[in-house]
């Protein structure tokens, strides 16, 4: 991917000896688009980001982990602005072209002495091969970095899209995941990029859940610097770009759910035959959020009663006597009737897989939707009980 550099270092923000400060830099100002958390409690970087993105341009993003810079008042906003100024000074660019993001514990002020000391090292370490270091520096309870890359040739030339995300807990996005950054060397207007990003998020990050909590810091930013000289010449090119962006974000979404705190399984709930599109999503969302469903998945128990009970309280229109339910390719319920112990034994075998698909057909309409979620284990409790320790 042309014109982008990355870096990640150990700045000492976290209590552990770990990388915790990262940067993305474009060699020239990039067209920018972004989406932010819908939580009413928002972190200082989100407040700043909402203002900065209005220009449609961005050249650098500084990200720290270990501290959310949230519920930190006017000082928190001043610290976010100072971080941008420090990075701009080191890069030799206007501060208005720098965005910042933070992730970590809510309520503590940023250790600005460590950030101020770390930024010169961060900038000096930048390179086109620094994606892995950046992806590692933005992690909190994640077990592994999350990167996805695709290259495509359209009529206007060849371009690359690379996405980096972090997220493991506090995942039930209303726009994106906890933090995600997408870079492309394609030439695309910021308004078009914003529209494409919104569609891609709706088809990916807005269809995942780990624990049902929406973060105060949720941010997804897309940068397009045009340095490949590839442009979208017609509607076919635009469709191809959207397809590729969808693919990258969906891949990152799956990586987030697989890496959910304490998770052992990735589950897709596919709802079919709904009366309306809204009903299809309501059912999928409600099943995905159910702790009883999630614990049954962890226990490898095909407890279909929990699934249909969740569907029944979703608020969607349905007829219980028309419901069909499959675990993978194993039918367990048909026309609202359990198919018996033999079918349940077969379904239990499906539950042993690391990836599982549940298919619930309401059989009253033509609409479908889906959600990705993970199981719920005792390790989730342990991780979050010790999070601030």
| Enzyme catalytic residues | 177
Which residue matches tokens 């997220």?
167
- What angle is formed at CA 46 by the lines to CA 222 and CA 113, rounded to 5 degrees? 105
Residues 88 and 144: their CA atoms lie apart, in Å, by: 29
Tokens found for residue 59: 């050249």
Sheet of 266-274: strand order equals 208-209, 367-374, 266-274, 355-361, 324-327, 330-334, 337-338
DSSP label at 335? T
Residues 199 and 92: their CA atoms lie apart, in Å, by: 34
The helix or strand, by DSSP H or E, that contains position 156, with its residue range, turns out to be none
Tokens found for residue 272: 């079919």
3-class secondary-structure state, position 108: coil
Q: Among 111, 141, 121, which Cα is nearest to 12's?
A: 111
């Amino acid at each position: 991917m042309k014109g982008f550099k990355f870096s990640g270092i150990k700045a000492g923000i976290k209590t552990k000896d770990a990388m915790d400060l990262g940067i993305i830099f474009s060699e020239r100002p990039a067209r920018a688009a972004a989406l932010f958390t819908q939580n009413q409690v928002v972190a200082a970087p989100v407040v700043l980001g909402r203002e900065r993105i209005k220009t449609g341009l961005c050249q650098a993003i500084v990200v720290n982990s270990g501290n959310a810079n949230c519920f930190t008042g006017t000082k928190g906003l001043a610290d976010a602005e100072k971080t941008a100024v420090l990075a701009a000074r080191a890069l030799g660019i206007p501060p208005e072209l720098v965005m910042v993001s933070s992730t970590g514990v809510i309520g503590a002020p940023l250790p600005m002495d460590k950030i101020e000391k770390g930024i010169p090292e961060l900038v000096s370490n930048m390179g086109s091969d620094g994606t892995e270091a950046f992806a590692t520096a933005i992690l909190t309870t994640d077990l592994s970095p999350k990167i996805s890359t695709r290259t495509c040739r359209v009529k206007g030339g060849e371009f690359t899209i690379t996405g980096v995300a972090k997220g493991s807990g506090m995942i039930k996005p209303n726009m994106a995941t906890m933090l995600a950054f997408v870079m492309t060397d394609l030439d695309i207007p910021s308004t078009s990029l914003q529209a494409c990003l919104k569609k891609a998020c709706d088809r990916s990050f807005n269809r995942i859940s780990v624990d049902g909590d929406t973060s105060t810091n949720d941010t997804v930013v897309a940068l397009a610097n045009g340095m490949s000289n590839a442009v979208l010449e017609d509607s076919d090119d635009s469709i191809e770009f959207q397809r590729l962006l969808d693919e990258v974000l969906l891949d990152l979404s799956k990586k987030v759910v697989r890496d959910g705190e304490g998770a052992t399984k990735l589950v897709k709930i596919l709802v079919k035959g709904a009366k309306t599109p809204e009903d299809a999503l309501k059912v999928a969302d409600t099943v995905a959020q159910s702790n009883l469903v999630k614990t049954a998945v962890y226990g490898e128990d095909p407890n279909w009663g929990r699934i249909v009970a969740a569907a029944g309280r979703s608020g969607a229109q349905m007829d219980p006597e028309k419901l069909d339910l499959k675990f993978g390719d194993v039918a367990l319920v048909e026309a609202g009737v359990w198919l018996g112990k033999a079918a349940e034994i077969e379904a239990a075998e499906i539950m042993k897989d690391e990836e599982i698909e549940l298919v619930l057909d309401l059989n009253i309409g033509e609409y479908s939707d889906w959600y990705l979620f993970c199981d719920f284990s005792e390790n989730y409790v342990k991780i979050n009980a010790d999070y601030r320790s």
